[in-house]
Amino acid sequence: MTTTPGGEPIPPVAHDPASRRSFLKYSALAASVPALQSVLANPAAATAAPGAYAPVPPTAIGPQIPAKGYLVQEIGTRLYWLTDGFYQIMFLVTKRHQDKRQRVIVVDAPPTLGGNILRAIEEVAPGARISHLVYSHYHADHIGAADKLRDASLPKLVIIAHEQTAHLLKQVPESSRPPMPNRSVSSRYRLEVDDQVLELHYKGPNHSQDNLFIYAPRQRVLNVVDIVYPGWVPFRNLVVSTNIPGWLNAHNQLLEFDFKTYIGGHLTRLGTRQDIKIQQEYLRDLEHYGRKAITEFVNVGPLFAKYPGNPWAVFKEYLDILTQTTADAVTPAWTSRLGGADVFTFDNAWTMVESLRLDHKVLGPFGTLP
C-alpha cells in the first residue's frame, strides 16, 4: 500500500474518469484520509535536516588520499588510476625505449585534478609526454582541464571523442570551451600507441549523447564515466542523464565487457562487476516502488481542491508525494549498503518516477481518459 512521507498508508481509490473535474467530491475524500491531509499541509515534513546524514558504510570508503592531494596507482601493465577522492581518471604509459620518449594516453581531465595529472605522470614516468587525450564525454567537470594537458603535451596533442562531442562543445561559448577534439569516433575505434591499446565503443545515448565506453583489453580495465558509482548511490536525479532508459541499459552493456576493474569517473574507489550488479539492484528497487506509488495513488482530487486554478502546484505536489513515497520505501534498506542512500535517493526517485511516466507510460491518474 502506498504511504505518505510520514509513513501513513494511503488506501487505493478506484479510478473515476471524472476525477479531474470533481473537485467537491474529492474535497470530501481528502477529509476522510487524515494521512493525506498531513502530506498536503506539509509535503516537505519528511525531508532530512541539513547535515543529518547517515554514516558512510565501509563498502564506500576508498584508499587514503596522500597530503599531496592525489593518489596514483598502477592497476595494470603501465595503466594508472589517478584520484583525488572526488574524481578519478586513468592513463596509460608506453614501454620505455632508449631511442624515444615514452608517450602517455590520458582519459579525461577533470578540473579538480588539473595540474596533478601532470605531476602524477611525471611521478611514475619521468620525462614522458602526453600524446593522446580521450574525452569520455563533453561535460566540463570531466574535461575542463584539457587545456592544461594540451599546453604540456607533444607538439600536436591528438584529442579523441565521439563525433557528437564537437557539436555539443560548439554550443558552449568559446571562452569557456575545452579544446576541440581533432579525431572522432562513430561506433568503434581502436587506438594503438606503441604497446598500449584502447578500444573506444559508442553504445548510444545514456548519461549524455556522446558518452564512450573506454576499454583497455590487455589490462582488462573498463572506464565508463557517470554510469556506476562503486560503493555509492548514483549522483542526484540519476546522474542528470540525458536518456534514462539508455542510462539504465548501459549497466547491462558494461557487463558485456570482459573486465576485472571498473573506473567510473567519480568518488572514492575502483569498481568490480559486483558493484555494477549492486547498483542495478538499487535501481530495480527504485523502479519497483516508483511504479507502485504511481499505480496505487490514483486520487488526485484533494490536490485540485487544495490548489484551485493552479495546475502546476497540483502536479508538483503530486510528484513530490510519489517521490517521497518511493524514497521512503527504498532508503532504509540501502543506507547501510551504499554511501549517500539517504542523501540522493529522493532525487533519484523523482527521476525514476518521471522516467516511468514519460518513457514507460505509467501515468496513474493522468493516463488516457476513457
The candidate with the shortest Cα–Cα distance to 361, out of 230, 237, 245, 201, is 245
Q: Which CATH number fits domain 64-268: 3.30.420.40, 2.60.40.10, 3.30.70.590, 3.60.15.10?
A: 3.60.15.10
Q: What pLDDT score was predicted for residue 37?
A: 36
Burial (CB count within 10 angstroms: exposed 0-12, middle 13-18, buried 19+), residue 295: middle
Q: Which residues pair with 93 in a beta bridge?
A: 104
Q: Which secondary structure element, helix H or strand E, spans residue 201, and what is its range?
A: strand 196-202
* 199 neighbors 112 (Cβ within 8 angstroms): no
* Domain spans, the chain: 23-56+283-366, 64-268
Give Cα 177 distance to the centre of its chain.
Answer: 22
Q: Is the dihedral of CA 142, 145, 147, 149 positive or negative?
A: negative
In b/e form, how buried is each residue of 103-126, taking b as 16+ CB within 10 angstroms?
bbbbbbbbeebbebbbebbeebbe
| Residue whose C-alpha cell reads 510528484 in the numeric block | 319
Q: What pLDDT score was predicted for residue 369?
A: 84
Q: What pLDDT score was predicted for residue 12?
A: 34
Q: What pLDDT score was predicted for residue 23?
A: 30
Q: What pLDDT score was predicted for residue 86?
A: 96
Task: Collect the ranges in the chain with pLDDT lower than 70.
Answer: 1-51, 154
| 359 φ/ψ angles, rounded to the nearest 5 degrees | -95, -30
Residue 136 C-alpha cell reads as: 569520455
Q: What pLDDT score was predicted for residue 299?
A: 87
Q: What pLDDT score was predicted for residue 16?
A: 36
Q: What pLDDT score was predicted for residue 154?
A: 65
